[in-house]
Structure 1
């Protein structure tokens, strides 16, 4: 009887301390499956359409071309997608798709107007704003009749408040900061090139020329009492104010 009790307790001791069973027990805990419901996972990079614009009557050769602009944003950025199409046999054939960045503050405010005096409307949209709204930054795309496409002017967003200048047959920009500058520009391939300007700053008015390599040459600089710095010009020699812009 005594030997029977000893064998019974020995069986309990070794049976409960079997290393193999311990190991299996630990593995079972590690293999515990956690199920995550799909509904609890949120999309963190959702693309949202902000604005949409279509024109098929004013851009380029009227009625022959169509420009579409869609503005999108996601968690990281805001951008525009521009599609440019040509009508062929009563169908629109897409010729270009251009994606460009913009800020997430202002609306695109797309416009079609002639910037190079070829009587064909070009395309701009507002990509940013500066100087508390005084500097409207627009991206300019010129319509080219020879290719039937839009040509992106790569540095147009460096020059705020762009407009066509009928007096000099060029483009001018009006920059507002601690003073103001009227800058006169020519389209040079895919960029705007400055060739002259009028700066009003710290009671001085300076009229200058700019060479093809960017070198400045002052034509005249004079101190003017009570200088009205918020003046835009449509010519630099002779000086002619742009009264409609002031």
Structure 2
């Protein structure tokens, strides 16, 4: 009986291994050896809602594990078909982006208005840093004039991005040896920092002056608890969470 059970286990394991290899072999690859691992599509919430579509797709190389992400941007276009005597809707490709990505995290696509213009922008997670606390995001801001998205080129330099309605700006929470709340504004295709609050055993508030240099405008002892240390400041003059 024991021998029969052992034989069954061996056959089961062999079948499982064969099944796994068969699944790997059946992955649909392109000519360069990449296969689609994850996909996200939205046409209801981004840009001109119902008239803008984004299509994110994550690809992994079947042998070396390299990962990249593509973003296709579409705009809904009306076309007249003479033979049908009617107007039809079709998705017109406006732009395509391609980026190298880490091989650990998923797409984690987030939709929201980062510049308060009434059109939803979009981010995806491009990496993670700082022992897991810094979520690195790539931001795309919708441009209604061109019906396309603008890639904010340095958005990966500012982790944990959130919109700040109080100051109509963007906040980044950076976790290092201390905790830094950066206050950012969008200028063309980049984020520009205009103030920051650095918290460790003390709170140091800096603001950029007319010459483009940061100046300390407030400094005091930090009296909060551990939970307060990781809060995002929504104002820096005066200090407010």
Bin for the TM-score computed over the shorter chain: 0.7 to 0.9
The structure having more radius of gyration, on CA atoms, is: 1
5+ residue gaps, structure 2:
1-29, 79-88
Q: 1: CA distance between counterparts of 2:210 and 2:122? A: 26
5+ residue gaps, structure 1:
1-42, 242-246
Contact 1:184 1:194 (C-alpha < 8 Å) held by counterparts: yes
Q: 2: CA distance between counterparts of 1:218 and 1:100? A: 37
| 1:8-157 aligned within 5 A | 46-74=33-61, 75=64, 77-89=66-78, 90-157=89-156
Q: Deviations over 1:15-69 (max 9, x none)?
A: xxxxxxxxxxxxxxxxxxxxxxxxxxxx995102111011011110110111001
Name the TM-score, length of structure 1 as normaliser.
Answer: 0.76
Aligned to 2:206: 208
Q: How many residues align?
A: 198
Q: Deviations over 1:107-148 (max 9, x none)?
A: 011121100001110010000011222111110000000110
Structure 1's consecutive aligned runs of 4 or more residues displaced over 3 angstroms after TM superposition are 211-214, 224-228
- 1:44 to 1:96, Cα distance in 2 relative to 1, 3 A: closer
Q: Does 1:192 align with 2:187?
A: no
- 1:157 to 1:151, Cα distance in 2 relative to 1, 3 A: same
Q: 1: CA distance between counterparts of 2:171 and 2:195? A: 10
Q: 1: CA distance between counterparts of 2:66 and 2:124? A: 17
Name the TM-score, length of structure 2 as normaliser.
Answer: 0.78
Q: Deviations over 1:84-110 (max 9, x none)?
A: 011112111101011112111100111
Q: 1: CA distance between counterparts of 2:223 and 2:232? A: 18
| 1:225-236 aligned within 5 A | 225=223, 228=226, 229-236=229-236
Q: Which has the higher contact order (CA 8 A, sep 6+)?
A: 2
Contact 1:204 1:227 (C-alpha < 8 Å) held by counterparts: no
